[in-house]
Amino acid sequence: MESAAAPAPAPARARLAKALRNLPALVAALLLVGAVALAIFAPFVAPHAPDAVNLARRLLPPGAAGDPLGTDPLGRDVLSRVLFGARISLLVGGVTMLVAGLIGTCAGLLAGYFPGAVDDILMRLGDIVLSFPFLLLALIVVAALGPSVRNLIIVLVLRSWITYGRVVRSQVVEMREVEFVEAARALGAGHVRILLKHVLPRVAGVAVVVASFNMAEAIVYEASLSFLGAGVPPPTATWGGMLHDNLLYIATAWWTIVFPAAALTLVILALNVLGDWIRDALDPNLRL
Amino acid sequence: MLVAVSIAVFVVARLSGDPAALMVGDTGTVADLARVRHLLGLDRPLTVQYGIFLAGVLHGDLGQSIFYAEPALPLVLARLPATAELAVTALAVALAVGVPGGVFAALNRGRLGDWGFVAVAVLGQSVPGFVLGVLSVMLFVLDLHWLPAAGIGGWQHLCLPALTLAAFSCAKIARLTRTSVLDTLSRDYVRTAYAKGAAPRRVVWRHVFRNAALPVMTMAGLELGQLLSGVVITETIFGWPGVGLLSIDAINHRDYPLIQAVALSVAVIFVVVNLVVDLAYGFVDPRIRYAGGA
């Protein structure tokens, strides 16, 4: 039974347009869920161990029995390596996103809410880090600390928290003088309570948008560093590392390069589409 | 600001490990190591090392490259034209394609052209630079034999590296232009201009475009900084003998003076570019020209 208060049904055309607008985001979300599932269950899904060398089966083209996407110059199964590579990419991207998001959001809340010294330090720090080409910085730091997943995440967090910090700060600055904050203050609420109960929920959406783009960025940087040979050390399977390892065979074994490249691009694409969609859903005028 | 950058450069360069250990190698004795460290001045306190570095910077002397045994700054400056050629071409391509594309998409909002344009731009933003570089080598060099793969030379050599480098910035600039134009189109002064009977073409170029250009210019300045980061990857893939390749060399050799020279040069370029962008606002937007002060 339809209630009288229900809004009039939208014309079919408008409904179709609306559905089409949300379609890319839906596909992107499904793709990401699929990627995460494949990464988690990689040991059960992958036909071989990712670093199982089999020199008798080197450089087999896709479609070979047992190696659907072919094998690499060491006879390792490309499909298995792509699946296990997803683990590294999603781990580095996900952990960077969470840690940088936590640090950056807190820093942004504090800087926006308490103008003055905290604010100045945060912005200056950001200026300095941003005035450096990040890839150069990351190469130097990774060269110093030694390449590993943990060190990669440290470098990426050092760069990423600033973005959250700045975006959250600008939102908080706008909000500081808004009535509900003043009202809460007049009612005797403490700073911590105001920040957590009133300000945080209103900046959380923006932080989520940043998080989505940040995860994509972190994955690109991880892959780029691995591609330069300064990321996760071999024989661990990573998408960037596979391109690095197989570059010599670029003319003869396209499958060793195209499949990891496609996996990487799809995940980045999905994260960007999702980020766009969340942003537009929150506020189409938001510039991030 | 510059003091902070110089400290950051100094600290970061020292993070990259001990060059003396690398020079002495596995066969050197502890005494060799100590002698090399003394020769390079690495046995002095860090504050003294920083003082020497800073005094040198103020005199335009960034020290000797440990690996090349030549002054570091001229080494960087010698590589700069190649990188500048690459980065400026890439930015020019990105602007030449991205800005008209963004305006076109905004004027056709919601139509098929706009939809396709945004889709391509999102894709362009999502393909990592090294993936695009490697795939374009596969397609245009190995498959079609249209272009040379590596090195520096005529426009054929510039083509792939510049386009690879431009793709991401182009997509970003295009999307920003589109948003910015859409934003401006909804302003009252645009409606007024239409209402008083101005020709659509005139409204778009005189009222919309000039106002929409500001955020795009800011972005273009920042993008040049980003391009300097992307250059490291692009130069590696295409063997382009610029600052990017030099910096990878320097890092691999733990060549502090050279790393410092690269990092400082790049930071200075970044600051100068953004200053130029700030000054250029005045030409586009008279309001800023007259405001002054702040």
- pLDDT for B73 equals 85
- Per-residue pLDDT for A31 more than 90? yes
Strand partners, A77: A71
Please tell me if residue B174 touches chain A, with a CB cutoff of 8 Å. Answer: no
Model pLDDT, residue A215: 94
Region A252-263: what's the mean pLDDT?
90
Residue B278 confidence (pLDDT): 73
- Between B271 and A286, where is the model more confident? B271
Query: What mean pLDDT do residues B209-228 have?
Result: 77
pLDDT at residue B294 greater than cutoff 50: no
Tell me how far apart the alpha carbons of residues B147 and A135 are, in angstroms, rounded to a whole number.
Answer: 28
- Mean pLDDT is highest, among A133-147, A172-186, B168-182, for B168-182
For residue B262, give how far its alpha carbon lies from the nearest alpha carbon of chain A (Å).
10
Three-state SS sequence of chain A: CCCCCCCCCCCHHHHHHHHHHHHHHHHHHHHHHHHHHHHHCHHHHCCCCCCCCCHHHCCCCCCECCECCCECCCCCEHHHHHHHHHHHHHHHHHHHHHHHHHHHHHHHHHHHHCCCHHHHHHHHHHHHHHCCCHHHHHHHHHHHHCCCHHHHHHHHHHHHHHHHHHHHHHHHHHHHCCHHHHHHHHCCCCHHHHHHHHHHHHHHHHHHHHHHHHHHHHHHHHHHHHHCCCCCCCCCCCHHHHHHHHHHHCCCCCHHHHHHHHHHHHHHHHHHHHHHHHHHHHCCCCCC
Domain that holds residue A279: 38-52+70-286
> What is the token pair recorded at B8?
């950051």
Q: Quick one: which of B56, B83, B91 has its CA closest to B261? A: B56
Most confident residue range from A71-80, A86-95, A237-246: A86-95
CB contact under 8 A, A287 and B233: no
| pLDDT for the residue B290 | 53
* pLDDT exceeds 90 at position B193: no
Residues of B in contact with A217 (CB under 8 A): none
Q: Is B215 on the interface with A (CB under 8 A)?
A: yes
pLDDT 10s digits, B87-121: 889 999 998 998 888 888 888 887 788 888 888 88
Percent of chain A with pLDDT over 90: 27
In B, which residues are within 8 Å of A287 by CB distance?
179, 215
pLDDT, tens digit, for every residue of A160-213? Answer: 988 898 888 888 887 777 777 778 777 877 788 888 888 888 888 888 889 999
Mean pLDDT (whole number) for B152-176:
83
How far apart (Å, rounded) are the C-alpha atoms in residues B27 and B22? 11
Q: How much is the pLDDT for A1?
A: 42
Q: Which chain A residues are within 8 Å of B231, Cβ to Cβ?
A: 133
| Residue B58 pLDDT exceeds 90 | no
Q: How far apart are CA B80 and CA B228, in angstroms?
A: 11
CA atoms within 13 A on the CB side of A100: 32
Band (pLDDT 50/70/90 cuts) for residue B292 is very low
Mean pLDDT of chain B: 78
Q: How close is the nearest chain B Cα to the Cα of A271, in Å?
A: 9
Inter-chain touch A276–B122, beta carbons under 8 Å: yes
Establish if A262 belongs to a structural domain.
yes
Residue A91 lies in a domain: yes
What is the CATH number for A271? 1.10.3720.10
User: Are A223 and B130 a contacting pair at CB < 8 A?
Assistant: yes
Q: For residue A9, is pLDDT > 70?
A: no
Q: Which class for A120: exposed (0-12), middle (13-18), buried (19 or more C-beta within 10 A)?
A: exposed
Contacts of B129 in chain A (CB under 8 A): 224
Task: Give ipTM to 2 decimals.
Answer: 0.78
- Do residues B150 and B134 touch, judged by C-beta distance below 8 A? no
Task: Give which of B134, B141, B259, B271 to mutate to test A binding, by max A Cβ within 10 Å.
Answer: B134
Residue A165 belongs to a domain: yes
Q: Tell me the average pLDDT across B240-257.
A: 83
Q: What is the mean pLDDT of chain A?
A: 84
Which chain B residues contact residue A124 at CB under 8 A? 1, 4
Quote the pLDDT of residue B149.
Answer: 66
Query: Given a cut of 60, is residue B280 above it in pLDDT?
Result: yes
State the amino acid at position B178 in one-letter form: R
pLDDT(B274) > 70: yes
Per-residue confidence at A33, pLDDT binned at 50, 70, 90? Answer: very high
B254 Rama sector, left if φ>0, alpha if ψ -120 to 50, beta otherwise: left
Q: What is residue B5's predicted lDDT score, i.e. its pLDDT? A: 64
Average confidence (pLDDT) over A128-153 = 80
Highest mean pLDDT among B30-44, B68-82, B190-204: B68-82
- In chain A, the number of structural domains is 1
Smallest CA–CA distance, residue B45 to chain A, in Å, is 19
Most confident of A32-41, B132-141, B219-228, B281-290: A32-41
Task: Please report whether residue A246 resides in a domain.
Answer: yes
Residue A115: closest CA among A175, A75, A67, A46? A175
Q: Is any Cβ of chain A less than 8 angstroms from the Cβ of B126?
A: yes
Considering only A192-206, B194-208, B247-261, which range has the smallest mean pLDDT?
A: B194-208
Q: Is residue A105 part of a domain?
A: yes
- Cβ(A81)–Cβ(A72) below 8 Å: yes
Q: Which residues lie across from B71 on neighbouring strands?
A: B64
Residue A236 covered by a domain: yes
- Mutant choice from A18, A214, A215, A227 vs B, greatest count of B C-beta within 10 A: A227
Grade residue A219 by pLDDT with cuts at 50, 70 and 90: very high
Is A153 within a domain?
A: yes
Q: pLDDT band at residue A2, thresholds of 50, 70 and 90?
A: very low
Q: Mean pLDDT, to the nearest integer, of B27-48?
A: 73
Q: Is residue A65 part of a domain?
A: no
